[in-house]
């Protein structure tokens, strides 16, 4: 059965946002190594131009996603992920957690770091998915808002709970029932990505910074405040500070948040909107305080005792990168077995110890403590129940809303 819902092509401002994200956004530095990512980013930007030039047509929705599963006969799977998002041995030649999976199951994993941006990757595979063809990938990792888009298009297979006993039992409660994939029928979380407030104690004179109101109004911080160039994080935290829920944001709510941030820009309270390049400025104290990604904060604190963070009383934003099986994948059951493996505490602990993002797996603390006690005690990596209860996510936007919201945010941030 085929439907005729058409995702709109990227507008010029959205295309520009993709390019900014690849050079300055979350994907550019947080996955452990800017150096290894550099070549891939350059290729991806070039690929975007090629896609735009050749005019790949908008893709229609298709529900003809299932195909014959060859997992029993073909002990392999193809796994596409972001750069530096997997544990690697000290010599850089092995991925220990994946190697253990292969030794246990006999399933060989072809692991490819070919995801550099959600929109760019969508453009890479959309023609095949729209045509009901195999993308050559059995497992992919994309961010929640893009997952919502692909699920709504009918391009992602439903997962078989019978193959996911550890995932079903151990998925943290805060991630269990997203509005865009109720009950996690099509996806499981790879990692959580909290957006919080970070500050340099030396630069603030020892003052704690713990709210968006303080970022926007404290005269001692004027000209030394940063917000993220990722719209959902900066707007989301501002909405929370205004008593609004990002899960229910309306156009009027969004405009009010934009106006509030615009005052901070006009008064020069906000120094700039940044991608991961805020880390150097925060480390040096050129930025006294900023909206930051938790994974960056964990890594900065390893080297600089002046770096501190706060979880606003109004709450914080969290997005997720998620594991999904695309339509026509040849090795669905093998992919499900790998998803389930990463929800075993030992495997989840090894991954969390290496990449320092928010682990979505309950019951991992004891195993993580054996590897790195400081990581096991860090609520940015293992949120406690109180912290998890204060997390919020930006609701899924329609294509029309996304274009309008992105345009307004780009005008605000000077992008």
pLDDT tens column, 192-211: 999 999 999 999 999 999 99
Given a contact cutoff of 8 angstroms between Cβ atoms, the answer to whether 268 and 223 are in contact is: yes
| Average of per-residue pLDDT across 345-362 | 95
pLDDT given for residue 415 in this prediction: 62
Cα 90 to Cα 345: distance, rounded to the nearest angstrom: 22
| Average of per-residue pLDDT across 217-222 | 98
pLDDT band at 56 (very low <50, low <70, confident <90, very high): very low
Task: State the DSSP code for 247.
Answer: G
Given a contact cutoff of 8 angstroms between Cβ atoms, the answer to whether 5 and 152 are in contact is: yes
Cα 108 to Cα 258: distance, rounded to the nearest angstrom: 48
Cα 27 to Cα 415: distance, rounded to the nearest angstrom: 17
CA-closest candidate to residue 214, choices 165, 269, 159, 268? 269
CA-closest candidate to residue 182, choices 213, 159, 210? 159
pLDDT given for residue 65 in this prediction: 61
183 contacts: CB under 8 Å, gap ≥ 6: 176, 177
Cα 150 to Cα 153: distance, rounded to the nearest angstrom: 5
- Helix axis angle for 144-152 and 118-130, nearest 10°, is 10
pLDDT given for residue 385 in this prediction: 87
pLDDT band at 308 (very low <50, low <70, confident <90, very high): very high
Q: Is the pLDDT confidence value at 128 over 70?
A: yes
| Average of per-residue pLDDT across 12-21 | 52
- Phi-psi group of 132: left, alpha or beta (phi > 0 → left; psi -120 to 50 → alpha; rest → beta): left
Model confidence pLDDT, tens digit, residues 364-406 = 999 999 999 999 999 999 998 889 999 999 998 888 998 999 9
pLDDT given for residue 6 in this prediction: 44
pLDDT given for residue 152 in this prediction: 93
Q: Which helix H or strand E contains 127, and what residues bound it?
A: helix 118-130
| Average of per-residue pLDDT across 204-223 | 98
Task: State the DSSP code for 200.
Answer: E
pLDDT given for residue 27 in this prediction: 46
Cα 405 to Cα 401: distance, rounded to the nearest angstrom: 6
Given a contact cutoff of 8 angstroms between Cβ atoms, the answer to whether 225 and 269 are in contact is: yes
pLDDT band at 119 (very low <50, low <70, confident <90, very high): confident
Cα 398 to Cα 99: distance, rounded to the nearest angstrom: 40
pLDDT given for residue 414 in this prediction: 85
Cβ burial, residue 252 (10 Å; 0-12/13-18/19+):
exposed
pLDDT given for residue 17 in this prediction: 52
Query: pLDDT > 70: what percent of the chain?
Result: 84
Given a contact cutoff of 8 angstroms between Cβ atoms, the answer to whether 179 and 395 are in contact is: yes
For the entire predicted model, the pTM comes to 0.81
Q: Is the pLDDT confidence value at 106 over 60?
A: yes
SS3 62: strand
pLDDT band at 12 (very low <50, low <70, confident <90, very high): low
Cα 370 to Cα 64: distance, rounded to the nearest angstrom: 45
CA-closest candidate to residue 23, choices 46, 43, 42? 42
Cα atoms in the Cβ-side hemisphere of radius 13 Å centred on 400 = 3
List of domains in the chain:
76-186+325-343 (3.40.190.10), 193-318+397-413 (3.40.190.10)
pLDDT given for residue 83 in this prediction: 87
């Amino acid at each position: 059965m085929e439907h005729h819902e058409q995702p709109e092509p990227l507008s010029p401002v959205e295309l520009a946002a993709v390019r900014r994200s690849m050079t300055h956004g979350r994907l550019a530095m947080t996955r452990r190594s800017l150096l290894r990512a550099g070549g891939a980013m350059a290729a991806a930007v070039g690929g975007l131009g090629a896609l735009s030039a050749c005019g790949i047509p908008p893709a229609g929705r298709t529900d003809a996603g299932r195909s014959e599963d060859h997992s029993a006969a073909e002990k392999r799977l193809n796994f596409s992920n972001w750069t530096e998002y997997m544990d690697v041995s000290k010599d850089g030649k092995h991925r220990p957690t994946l190697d253990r999976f292969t030794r246990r199951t006999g399933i060989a994993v072809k692991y490819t770091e070919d995801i550099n941006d959600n929109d760019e990757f969508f453009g890479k595979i959309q023609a095949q998915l729209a045509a009901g063809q195999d993308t050559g990938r059995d497992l992919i990792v994309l961010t929640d808002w893009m997952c919502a888009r692909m699920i709504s298009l009918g391009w992602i297979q439903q997962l078989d709970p019978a193959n996911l006993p550890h995932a079903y039992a151990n998925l943290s409660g805060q991630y269990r029932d997203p509005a865009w994939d109720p009950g996690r029928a099509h996806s499981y979380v790879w990692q959580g990505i909290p957006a919080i407030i970070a500050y340099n104690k030396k630069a603030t004179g020892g003052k704690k910074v713990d709210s968006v109101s303080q970022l926007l109004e404290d005269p001692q911080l004027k000209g030394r405040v940063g917000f993220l160039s990722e719209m959902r994080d900066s707007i989301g935290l501002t909405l929370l500070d205004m008593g609004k829920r990002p899960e229910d944001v309306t156009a009027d709510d969004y405009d009010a948040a934009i106006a509030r941030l615009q005052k901070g820009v006009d008064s020069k309270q906000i120094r700039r909107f940044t991608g991961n390049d805020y880390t150097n400025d925060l480390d040096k104290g050129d930025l006294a305080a900023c909206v930051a990604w938790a994974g960056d904060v964990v890594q900065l604190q390893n080297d600089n005792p002046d770096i501190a963070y706060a979880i606003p009383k109004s709450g914080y934003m969290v997005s997720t990168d998620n594991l999904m099986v695309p339509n026509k994948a040849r090795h669905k059951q093998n992919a499900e077995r790998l998803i389930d493996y990463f929800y075993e505490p030992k495997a989840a602990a090894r991954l969390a110890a290496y990449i320092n993002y928010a682990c979505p797996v309950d019951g991992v603390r004891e195993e993580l403590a054996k590897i790195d006690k400081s990581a096991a005690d860090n609520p940015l990596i293992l949120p406690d129940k109180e912290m998890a209860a204060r997390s919020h996510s930006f609701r899924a936007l329609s294509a029309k809303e996304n274009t309008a919201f992105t345009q307004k945010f780009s005008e605000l941030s000077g992008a």
